[in-house]
Amino acid sequence: MFSYQGKHCRELLSTTAIAERVKALGAEITRAYADRGEDLVLVGVMKGSVIFLSDLARAIDLPLQMELIGIASYGDSTKSSGVVQITSDLTKPIEGKDVIIVEDIVDTGLTVSYLLENFRTRQPRSVKVAALLHKPERSVVKVDIHYLGFTIPNEFVVGYGLDFAQRYRNLPGIMVLEGGEH
Ligand code: IMP
Ligand code: MG
């Protein structure tokens, strides 16, 4: 336990553990897509995934494109409503492409399941999901995560891109914020 910006933090995943896991995921994706040509597109879900996206992309030894998609989900902070809106769309069509959605965390699963459904209408060759974290205890809709970093307990985490009220994204590891109000 240590103090960061006046809050108590407990490290859940160290920078070393994350770096090793991301490298392994990159190698796995490299093997899986090696004979698929040059149509791999990583789609990072803003903003939480951008740090994972940048590390994962550099761990993949294949030609690829990177895209970002912005999402707003309605409902209060504790209950995801499943109503998701695209606030910033892809810059290029994904028709005929091999798409990997890159997410920071799959919590209820509603965001990824919305994106999967939305992307399918754009006729990509394939769509898979890479998520750094998964909180299975919070699952509302079942989502297949093809490339998963870590399964974590039902605790609110920050760092490595994940925020609380837009803060803590730049913490290098994954931390649990102690105390109800963060
Ligand atoms: P969903 O409930 O699977 O739709 O998760 C949607 C989004 O909620 C994730 O992409 C995160 O941005 C955010 N989220 C869920 N759990 C956490 C957490 O523990 N820390 C920070 N953000 C979270
Ligand atoms: Mg997110």
Residue ranges of alpha helices (H) inside the chain are: 15-33, 50-58, 110-120
Rounded Cα–Cα distance for residues 181 and 120 (Å): 39
Q: Which atom of ligand 1 is nearest to the CA of 110?
A: 4
* Active site positions, annotated: 107
Rounded Cα–Cα distance for residues 74 and 57 (Å): 30
Ligand 1, residues 68, 76, 86, 104: which to mutate, most atoms within 8 A of Cβ? 104
What is the model's pLDDT at position 8?
Answer: 83
Task: Determine phi and psi for 16, rounding to 5 degrees.
Answer: -65, -45
The helix/strand/coil state of 105 is strand
What is the model's pLDDT at position 1?
Answer: 72
What is the model's pLDDT at position 37?
Answer: 80
Interval 120-173: pLDDT, tens: 999 999 999 999 999 999 899 999 999 999 999 999 999 999 999 999 999 999
User: What separation in Å is there between the alpha carbon of 48 and the centre of ligand 2?
Assistant: 5
Beta strands in 23-177, from DSSP E residues, in sequence order: 40-45, 65-73, 84-88, 98-106, 126-134, 147-151, 157-158, 174-177
Q: What is the largest CA-CA distance in the chain?
A: 50
What sign results for the dihedral spanned by CA atoms 110, 112, 115, 116?
negative
Is any ligand 1 atom within 6 A of the Cβ of residue 141?
no
- pTM for this one? 0.94
Written as tens digits, the pLDDT of the chain (182 aa) is: 777 777 788 999 999 999 999 999 999 999 999 998 889 999 999 999 999 999 999 999 999 999 999 998 776 555 566 678 999 999 999 999 999 999 999 999 999 999 999 999 999 999 999 999 999 998 999 999 999 999 999 999 999 999 999 999 999 999 998 875 55
Nearest-10 Cα torsion for 102, 105, 111, 113: 70
Ligand 1, residues 105, 160, 170: which to mutate, most atoms within 8 A of Cβ? 105
What is the model's pLDDT at position 7?
Answer: 78
Is any ligand 1 atom within 6 A of the Cβ of residue 159?
no
Cross-strand bridge partners of residue 129? 101
Rounded Cα–Cα distance for residues 5 and 31 (Å): 41
Is any ligand 1 atom within 6 A of the Cβ of residue 110?
yes
User: What separation in Å is there between the alpha carbon of 37 and the centre of ligand 1?
Assistant: 33
